[in-house]
Amino acid sequence: MGYDISLFKVPEELKVQHINEDVLFDIAYGDDYPNCLLVYTNFSLGNPKSIDFAEVFNIF
**Closest residue by Cα to residue 59 from 36, 21, 50:** 50
Q: What is the dihedral of CA 21, 30, 33, 52, to 10 degrees?
A: 70
Model confidence pLDDT, tens digit, residues 12-48: 888 898 889 998 999 999 898 888 988 887 777 777 7
Backbone angles phi, psi at 26, to 5 degrees: -65, -40
Judge whether 19 and 9 are in contact, CB under 8 Å. Answer: no
CA dihedral 46, 1, 52, 15 (to 10 degrees): 160
* Domain boundary assignment for the chain: 2-57
pTM (two decimals): 0.60
Whether the per-residue pLDDT at 9 is higher than 60: the answer is yes
